[in-house]
Amino acid sequence: MTTSDLIEFGKYLYTTNNDDFAKDVKETDVIFPISFNNSKFELGSLCKKNEITLNYDVNSIFNNELYISTDQRVIIPIKGGLLGLSPFFIKLDNDFINKNGKYKKKEIKNFKNKVKQSLNNNNNNNEFIEHISKIYKDPEKNFLEMIPDLNNEKYIYYKSFFKKYLTEKTKSLIIDYYEFINTNIDSIIEKIIKYKSEQLQLNENPSFYLTCVFNSDFDLINDILVYYSIFSKKRNKKIKDYGESKCPFCTKKCITYPFISCYTATEPTYFFEYKSEIKKSKLKLCKTCNAYLLFAEDKLKKIFLPNIMVIPKLKNNKNDFKEFLKASNTDENTFIKLNEILENNSNKLNYDLVLYEKNSKGDKYDIKKYVENYRAFLATFKTEKKEKILLYNEDHNLIYLFNENYFKQKKDNKLNNINSIFDLEYIFKELFIDVKEEIKYLKLEHFYEIYTKDVKKLMPRFDVKTVTIFIKYMHNIFDFIYELNLDAINRNMINEMFLNILIKLEKNKNHINYYNMHILKRLNYYFMLKKEFLGETMLETPNLEKLKCICRDYSEDKDNDIIKIINNDKTLKYYLIGQFVRLIDDTKHANNKKNEVFSNFISNVNRNNIKNLFVTEILQKNDFYIKHMNEKGKIIFKIFENDLSSVFSEKKNYSYEEYLLLMFTGYYTTNILSSSENKEELI
C-alpha cells in the first residue's frame, strides 16, 4: 500500500537523521547573528554559514542543523510576517538596493511592515505566542508525547525547561526579541546593504537569515517550536481532529487529516487515499505518521526530477534504505541517473512511479500517471549472443530490412542497437517530425514528459495529422515503455504511425538531405517492431529469397514460379508493386524525364482511390515506359494486369496502410527487377 510505504520510508529517514525537511540553509547562505548577554539583545556581524560558529546550547538540535521552512503547511507565522519555524531563526528580505546602488524604497518599506506585522501578531497572542500558550497548557500531551523516539535524556531536559520557565517568561522573551528587531530595523537593513556591497560577488545570490543565539537553555525554544510545527501543529484550523480514533498504521490515537501535499487524480483513486476535498478524504492518520509522510515526500522531491516521484517499497521486513539514499546523493539529476539508482537497489526495493504537476489552487498536485511496480529500468532484450536488439550488422546493413545497404551519415549514429526498453523512445521520437527547411523533432527527451509538460509545446507548429496521431498514441507508447505492457502497441497503431512519417518524408524530400536514408532507417524500425513485439514476419518468409533468386537468374520459363510465390505470400505483390514503380522512375530518369511517379502517387492516394489511382496514374500513364522495360518488369506488369480485381482488395486482412508500407519497402530497397540489381541513390 502506497501510504504505508511512504510512512515506512519517512520513519526511516527520521530515525536515521536522513530527512531533509527544514534543512534548507546552505553553507554559502548569510547568517545575521543576534546574541543575548546580560538580558539584552545585541546585533552581531553578518557572515556566511561556513565561516561562522554559532554557540547554541549543547542540548539544542540547532547545534547540528539550522532549521528553516517557508512551507505553509508547517510554519507558524502567516504570510504577512517574518517566516520561519521559530521566532529566533527567520528568513530575511535582502533585496534593498538595485544594480546602481540605489535604495529600493518599496522593498525596504515592505520589509519594515513585515517586522511590525510579526510584532503586532505576537503582541495580540497570535503566531508564536498562540502556539507557545497551547504547548504550555499541557506540555506532556501537546509536546512531549508527540515527538517520536524521544530518548530519556532528551525527555528530561525538555521537561525541565517547561518547569524552569513558566509561560509568561517564554512569551515575554519572544515579544522582547521582536521589539528589539523592530527598534533596530534600520541598522539591520544598513548592515545587510553594506555586507552585500562589500562581501558578495555579482553572481552570488545567497539567502539571509536572522538568528538569535542565547548559548543557554533558552535555545531550546527553537527545538520546541520546530518539533511542534512538524509533529503537533494542526493542518487546518477549521477541521476537527478525531481524538479517540486509532491510526490505521501505528494504532496511536488522535487522528487528523493528511499533512502531505494533496495529490489527486481525475477520478478518485487509492494511490494516497486522498481526495482534493479534505473533509471527504479517506486518509486519516496520527500526527506522527503524518510527519513521516511529510519527510518522505520532501526527500523524494529533492532526490528526483521535478514532476516525478518514485516511491521505494521494501521487499521484506528489513527496514533498509541505506544504499538507496547513498546512490541518490548525486548532483546528476537526470532521468537516466534515476533509473540507474533504481536498478542498483532493485534487489531490496520495489518502486511506484508517480508523474504529477502543480495545481494552480494551493498546495495541490494533479497525478497525471501512476505506475505501480515500476520495472522498466530492468528490461533488456536477449538474443542468442547478446542482451540487445541489433539494428545494423558490422557493415551497417539494415538487419530487419533484409540486410539492405545503408550508408549512414555522421549525424545518424545515435542508435546502433537497442539495449534496453528506453532505447525504444528514440525510435518512437523519430516517427514524429515536422519538415520545412529542416527536420524538427519532438521537444522531449523521454516519453514521460507527455504527463509533465504541455503537449502542444512538445510539437509546436507541427501539421495537424502528425499532432493528431501523436496524441492518439502517446499514451500507448508510454504504457509500452514504462509499464512494459506489450499489448499497448498493436498492428494498426504501428502501421498508422510509420505510414504517416514515410509519406511526410516523401512529400518533403526536396528539403531533406539523404531523404532515402531517413526512409530506409524507419522501414528498418518498422519491421523490427513488427517482428520483435508483434510477432509478425512480413516479408521475412523464404518466399522473398526464392523471388530474388528467380529475378537474379530470370528466364521466361520461370514466370509461373513468380506467380506461385506471389499467390503464396500476398505481401510480395505489394513489395513488387513498389519495385515496379521504382523501375518506371529509374527508366524515366535514364531518359532525362522527371522520376516522380511514386511521389505523385503517394501525394494523391487515399483509401477510396488507391486502386483507380494505381491503374490510371501508374499503369496507363506510363504505358510507353512499361513497354520499354526489361523482361522482368514486363512479366510483373502482366501479373498485375491479369489480376487487377484483387489488387488492393485482398481477401485476407491487409490494411490500406500495409499496402503502402509494402510499396515503400519495395520502392526504396534494392530493385530486383533492375537489369543490374544496383539501386540508384535518390539524393
Q: Using CA atoms, how far apart are residues 167 and 137, in angstroms rounded to an integer?
A: 9
What does the DSSP assignment read for 500-532?
A: HHHHHHHHTGGGSTTHHHHHHHHHHHHHHHHHH
The whole-number pLDDT of residue 451 equals 93
- Say if CB 617 and CB 601 are below 8 A apart: yes
For all residues of the chain together, what is the average pLDDT? 87
More confident call, 244 vs 309: 309
pLDDT at residue 258 greater than cutoff 90: no
The whole-number pLDDT of residue 240 equals 65
Phi/psi at 99 (nearest 5 deg)?
Answer: -65, -25
Q: Taking residues 666-683, what's their average pLDDT?
A: 69
pLDDT at residue 259 greater than cutoff 70: no
The whole-number pLDDT of residue 410 equals 52
Q: Which three cell numbers stand for residue 346?
A: 532493485
> What is the helix, strand, coil percentage profile of the chain, to 5?
50, 10, 40
The whole-number pLDDT of residue 376 equals 94
What does the DSSP assignment read for 379-421?
A: -B---SSSSSEESB-TT--BTTTTTB-----TTS-S-SEE-BT
Phi/psi at 570 (nearest 5 deg)?
Answer: -65, -25
pLDDT digits (tens, 9 = 90+) for 169-224: 999 999 999 999 999 999 999 999 999 989 988 788 899 999 999 999 999 999 99
pLDDT digits (tens, 9 = 90+) for 41-90: 999 999 999 999 999 999 999 998 999 988 777 888 766 788 899 999 99
Predicted structure pTM score: 0.85
Give exposure, 172-211, as e/b (b: 16+ Cβ within 10 Å): ebbbebbebbeebbeebbebbbebbeeeeeeeeebbbbbb
Q: Taking residues 236-251, what's their average pLDDT?
A: 70
